[in-house]
Amino acid sequence: MYVICCPCILNPALRAKGITNPSDLKLFKRCIDRCNRFGIELVSLPCPETIYLGADREPGTFLERLDTGEFAQLLDELEEQVKRIIETRGLPLYILGVNSSPTCGVTSTYYGSDGDELPKRSGRGVFLARFPGVQAIDVAEFAQFRIYLAAPLFSESEREYNKSITEVLRQNFFDVYLPQDIGDNCAVRETCEHTRIYKHNKQALHDADIIVAIIDGADADSGTAWEMGYATALGKPVIALRTDFRMVGDRERVNLMLEQSAVVVGCKKELVEALNSLALKINL
């Protein structure tokens, strides 16, 4: 099990001068942490820009400095190297790219001005574009892997269902915080325990990247609704899983305030797809 990654994730010094900031380094570290957490090997791509222009280079677009026959030939050679890796090891889980890069962008790239076109365009960089059969994901997306699972937990069936959702998420390489694991049960309803649980869960909401909320039932669990609202106020994305087919209005599956503040999905498969979707941004 492995991912192929843009080389600057492992060695930020390969990036053009002046473009790396502390937030970039944090994202790179988080990507590496996720791979280490789940035993995913990181295999580096070669860096076409460093090979062609050198490590001590100024930022620039593809059209400004890379639109040459020599660079195209270099990409041909490097493409064959990567294809040999894939032929030997099988398809990677992903290619991890860095958006805006002329070569390794995933959904955007600084291609350069051409007529009325803006320098930054949608689509993959010129190197990643050579591997259309491999799913690519930007580091900012892949780094968001810590999930807070908000759900009712007051019956055996609820707790077992929460565990099953947690297992699905962990199988897809998400780190899950499950409130019932910190001792939130009927045996610990002392006042001091109320305070401990509240503070612990509140901090976990701050630490999470994404909140997954279970909102089945005639009405959503009140604690889950609070957690969804608090997460929304923090600017965290919320995905709500509702397998319940009942409607609460002509067009509403659940309370409109919850529905409007979350991406609502109807099954485990849709939940995983939403989490893995490149359309899911850290600020909805």
Domains and CATH numbers, the chain: 2-142 (no CATH), 146-276 (3.40.50.450)
Does residue 250 carry a pLDDT above 70? no
User: What pLDDT score does 188 carry?
Assistant: 58
CA nearest to 27, candidates 91, 120, 82, 106: 106
Kindly report the pTM of this predicted structure: 0.81
- Count the neighbouring beta carbons within 10 Å of the beta carbon of residue 58: 11
Mean pLDDT on 126-136: 95
How many whole angstroms from its chain centre is CA 179?
22
Does residue 282 carry a pLDDT above 70? no
User: What pLDDT score does 254 carry?
Assistant: 74
User: What pLDDT score does 252 carry?
Assistant: 66
The more confidently predicted of residues 283 and 254 is: 254
Does residue 216 carry a pLDDT above 90? no
Does residue 6 carry a pLDDT above 60? yes
Residues 152 and 221: beta-carbon distance below 8 Å: yes
Mean pLDDT on 121-147: 93
Mean pLDDT on 39-58: 94
Which residues are bridge partners to 20 per DSSP? none
Mean per-residue pLDDT over the chain, rounded: 88
The phi, psi pair for 42, rounded to 5°, reads -100, 120
Residue 250 half-sphere exposure toward CB, CA atoms < 13 A: 0
